[in-house]
Chains A and B, each alone.
Chain A
Amino acid sequence: MSTATVGDLVSQPYKYGFVTEIETEKIAKGLSEDVVRLISAKKEEPAFLLEFRLRAFRQWQQMQEPDWAALGFPAIDYQDIIYYAAPKQQQKKTSLDEVDPKLLETFDKLGIPLSEQKRLSNVAVDAVFDSVSIATTFKEQLAEHGVIFCSISEAVKEHPELIERYLGTVVPSNDNYFAALNSAVFSDGSFVFIPKGVECPMELSTYFRINSGDTGQFERTLIVAEEGASVSYLEGCTAPMFDTNQLHAAVVELVVLDDASIKYSTVQNWYAGDENGVGGIYNFVTKRGQCRGDRSKISWTQVETGSAITWKYPSCVLQGADSVGEFYSVALTNNKQQADTGTKMIHVGPRSRSTIVSKGISAGHSSNSYRGLVQIGPKAVGARNYSQCDSMLIGDQAAANTYPYIRCQQPDAAIEHEASTCRISEDQLFYLQSRGIGFEEAVSMMVSGFCRDVFNQLPMEFAAEADKLLALKLEGSVG
């Protein structure tokens, strides 16, 4: 962590709060079967996909918004949302030179340079602006290895057989209310396919940007790693500051076959609303991975610092024998933010193993809940789980809740769960201060120490980023 700069950082407001002035094409507010058909038509989708969307839409109409999470927010008017917005740039450009410079500038400002000469070394980026993907870098180099990395709309056109084979197989369209909504109206997102035996030669990353004030973002990501393949994938998210709430309901599906692995990292910094809880993103996300193959592995790492509301449980279905699921999470809430997040580890296969490390930091008037499920099915002989969830409270107005459920049907399994709550002790702070480290800096050092087990899981470049982000978010919450 470059602590020397944290000092300057803490004095900055949300720096991604700007709006890009760009002409967009939108479908009028509201949701109906016609809107679903229109989205599909605009994207010139094959029949199977329209069918998929319509089925999801009908299921969604029959469903209720879930109410079991420890969250409170005014009812969402689903007819007051725009379900499709795209920058006016009719065709996706084959070369970056043709992309609207305003968009390139936007991503530059966000620290995601798309022009390849200024590229983040060894990271390929797919940039999603409101509802559509505007550019994907390094495609050719990846193609040489047989790796497909493109927007999901492109994949629908160019690899329809893969989409048809895998889409909705991990998160069925009727899985839950928000997943059904997403399945009906998803606009874009990333698609990754790593063929048999290939170790993806670079980090892949998608950057999501919400720009319009009244648009929902419904992205869909699908990653498939065939036998023996492996990939590390990272997503980042920001949004402008509006005093209204925007809905973000994403679905991420991961499929991992024998001996393959996917490492999926998220740094989520959607606009969180102001200190009075006005504005901010409602982040309702369904993320699930299926370890279908033996010895397959899925590792989720998330750093959740933004959004007014976070509802998110990246999960692993451990079907394969000896498959491995991991979940590393830092969730920081400040001001009036609410987060209800955690994971599900569903052990089906024998000797499947899972590890959960969750660190929740609650400051201000926020509420931060860990909700997890470890389920050991009757066939999961020799399954193991270890979970650790720690909460740190900053100030006496913040809430930390922990709901770690365990369901076990297999005697030859071992499940261990530990949880603790702490605060930054006066003695520890004083020790750091007595060595000349300023108060805020001392706090941010302690917080990043608290989160270290999780940050260690992030790809190098992003670990430092995540650290700075936390310092930034804690501004003014201590003392």
Chain B
Amino acid sequence: MVATPTAPTSTGRAGAGDAAWLATLAGAPLPSRRQEDWRFTDLKALTALEPQMITPADPLAAVDLPAGLERLSSSSAAPWLGQALAATASAEHWPVLLNSGASAAQACPLLALRVFGAAGSLDLHLDAGSTAGLATFRLLLVLEPGSSLELLLRPSSSGPNALSLVSEVILAPGAELKLGSLAFGTEESCLFQHTAVVQAAGSRLDHTAVAGGWGLARLEPRILQRDGQAFSRLRGLQVCRGAELADTHTWVRFDGPEGELDQLHKAVADDQARSVFNGAVRVPRAAQRTNAAQLSRSLLLSDRARIDTKPELEIVADDVKCAHGATVSRLQSEELFYLRSRGIASDQAAQLLQRAFCEEVLRDLPAAAASHGPLLTLLGRA
């Protein structure tokens, strides 16, 4: 923020007492809005939670693992755990601390998977259910050299609770992961989804995160290209209405040369909703010939909604291509007019254009997503 920060003043609801159990679980006080990363993130939906833990069902119990995929026990997963978090500098990050604290407190199932071949696709439903409280999930994916997986995660909630999901992903050379996340909640629920990925040279990540309907959703994909020379494709779509807050903070760092990033983030904000996007790209000296492109496009549909975007590019290498762009607008009047001149009612024309806007991201989800009707869930309520 330039010169004098003018953060709205409303920390009142988050009285220390309300959030004490969360602070105790995390072993650290809740983030304050004076912290740059949390300036726009109103945590009142979180602090309003019933102070109790939910034991969710083990999502892996219900599925048959395809060939090329193996579930790791806690002890065999142990050497891998924490690596991706450390590499992406997020081990001390508050949502991660909360997840770690809560997992330890109630021994939640560890979803640890080792991928050692062409594992095909997997669809995991991570449901916080309808009971009040806090549900935590922890996922570890280790992709061995040359292996591949297409994974769809479906975090969901239908009650006044918070779902905390921390995923750690380690991609060996030549590994390919298509990781989709389709997260639907209610206006009483919160989502904290943190995804830390370390990519070795020659690996490929396609990560698409879609969220809608949560009172508060905070998505934090963080990627480190450990030796550069990898490919990361990031897609994000957040749709918020009513009084919802959708907040995405992405972070990508290249620690070696010739890495590639192709990032597109989209947001739709209607009613009094608030949409926040923060996209950091770090290109240190070692990352010569990096090619990174970040684009953020936001649709603002109501005059009480608001959008804050904040790309952050930090570059210390001269032979790089880094481009970023941002647009904020409402639906293009030219396009609307064109549709209407062909006889389509303005509501319907607007729907069509919104669908087209969303579909550009949705089509990058794993194929399994289609059966869950994402478009209808996202826009159907309009």
Contacts and interface: CB of A to CB of B under 8 A. Distances in A.
* Chains A and B in contact, CB within 8 Å: yes
B320 interface: yes
A175 B323 CA distance: 33
Given A396-B318, A417-B325, A411 B300 contact: yes
Interface stretch (A52-60, A145-153, A185-193, A399-407): A399-407
A408 B327 contact: no
A395 B318 contact: yes
A410 B1 CA distance: 20
Contacts of B328: 376, 406, 408, 413-415
29 contacts: A176-B4, A344-B2, A371-B2, A372-B2, A373-B1, A373-B2, A378-B303, A393-B317, A396-B317, A397-B285, A398-B316, A401-B315, A403-B311, A404-B310, A405-B308, A405-B309, A405-B310, A406-B326, A408-B328, A409-B304, A413-B328, A415-B328, A416-B326, A418-B323, A418-B324, A421-B315, A421-B321, A421-B323, A423-B318
A418 B306 contact: no
Listed from nearest, the 7 A-B pairs whose CB atoms lie closest are A393-B318, A417-B326, A402-B313, A415-B328, A421-B322, A411-B330, A411-B300
Contact of B316 (A66, A396, A404, A419): A396
B323 A420 contact: yes
Interface in A268-316: 286, 313, 315
A373 B326 CA distance: 13
**Chain A interface residue bracket vs B:** 35 or more
A26 to B, nearest CB: 31
Contact of A415 (B285, B316, B329): B329
Residue in B301, B317, B327, B328 with the greatest tally of chain A CB atoms within 10 Å? B328
Residue in A68, A343, A400 with the greatest tally of chain B CB atoms within 10 Å? A400
B40 to A, nearest CB: 9
A469 interface: no
A293 to B, nearest CB: 24
Contacts of A405: 1-2, 308-310
B312 A421 contact: no
Nearest to B284: A399
Contacts of B302: 411
Interface of A: 66, 68, 175-176, 286, 313, 315, 342-344, 371-373, 376, 378, 391, 393-423
A360 to B, nearest CB: 10
Contacts of B324: 402, 417-419
Contact of A400 (B298, B315, B330): B315
Contacts of A407: 306-308
A344 B323 contact: no
Contacts of B288: 396
B314 interface: yes
A414 B327 CA distance: 7
Contacts of B305: 409, 411
B1 A414 contact: no
Given A175-B3, A414-B329, A417-B327, A406 B310 contact: yes
Contacts of B1: 68, 373, 405
Contacts, number: 138
Interface residues of B, number: 40
A404 B322 contact: no
Given A313-B2, A414-B328, A423-B318, A408 B311 contact: no
B326 A415 contact: yes
Contact of A411 (B303, B314, B316): B303
A416 B297 CA distance: 9
B330 A412 contact: yes
A416 B324 CA distance: 11
Given A408-B300, A416-B327, A418-B325, A423 B319 contact: yes
Contacts of A399: 314-316
Interface string B1-16: 1111100000000000
B315 A419 contact: no
A376 B316 CA distance: 32
Interface in B265-318: 285, 288, 298, 300-318
A416 B329 CA distance: 9
Contacts of A422: 321
A160 B37 CA distance: 46
Contacts of B330: 411-413
Interface in B202-249: none
Contacts of B308: 405-408
A132 B202 CA distance: 64
Given A176-B4, A313-B2, A421-B315, A404 B326 contact: yes
Contacts of A342: 2
A371 B285 CA distance: 21
A331 to B, nearest CB: 15
Contacts of A402: 311-313, 324
Given A396-B318, A399-B314, 15 more contacts: A176-B4, A376-B328, A378-B304, A401-B313, A401-B315, A403-B312, A405-B310, A408-B306, A411-B301, A411-B303, A412-B330, A413-B328, A415-B329, A417-B327, A418-B323
A378 B272 CA distance: 12
A416 B204 CA distance: 30
Nearest to A175: B4
A406 B285 contact: no
Interface in B133-147: none
A397 B316 contact: yes
Contacts of A398: 316, 318
Contact of A68 (B36, B316, B327): B36
Contacts of B309: 405-406
Contacts of B300: 408, 410-411, 413
Contacts of B323: 418-421
Nearest to A417: B326
A176 B329 CA distance: 32
Given A397-B285, A401-B313, A419-B324, A410 B303 contact: yes
Contacts of B304: 378, 409
A353 B16 CA distance: 44
Contact of A286 (B3, B298, B301, B319): B3
B241 to A, nearest CB: 14
Given A397-B285, A417-B327, A391 B2 contact: no
Nearest to B294: A419
Residue in A376, A391, A416, A417 with the greatest tally of chain B CB atoms within 10 Å? A417
Residue in B285, B298, B315 with the greatest tally of chain A CB atoms within 10 Å? B315
B286 to A, nearest CB: 9
A343 B36 CA distance: 19
Given A313-B3, A403-B311, A407-B306, A421 B316 contact: no
Nearest to B333: A412
Contacts of A378: 303-304
Contact of B327 (A409, A411, A415, A421): A415
Nearest to B312: A403
Contact of A393 (B5, B306, B315): B315
A478 B312 CA distance: 27
A284 B232 CA distance: 40
Contacts of A401: 312-315
B4 to A, nearest CB: 5
Contacts of B310: 403-406
A408 B298 contact: yes
B312 A420 contact: no
Nearest to B299: A411
B10 to A, nearest CB: 16
Residue in B1, B36, B298, B304 with the greatest tally of chain A CB atoms within 10 Å? B1
Contact of B307 (A286, A400, A408, A420): A408
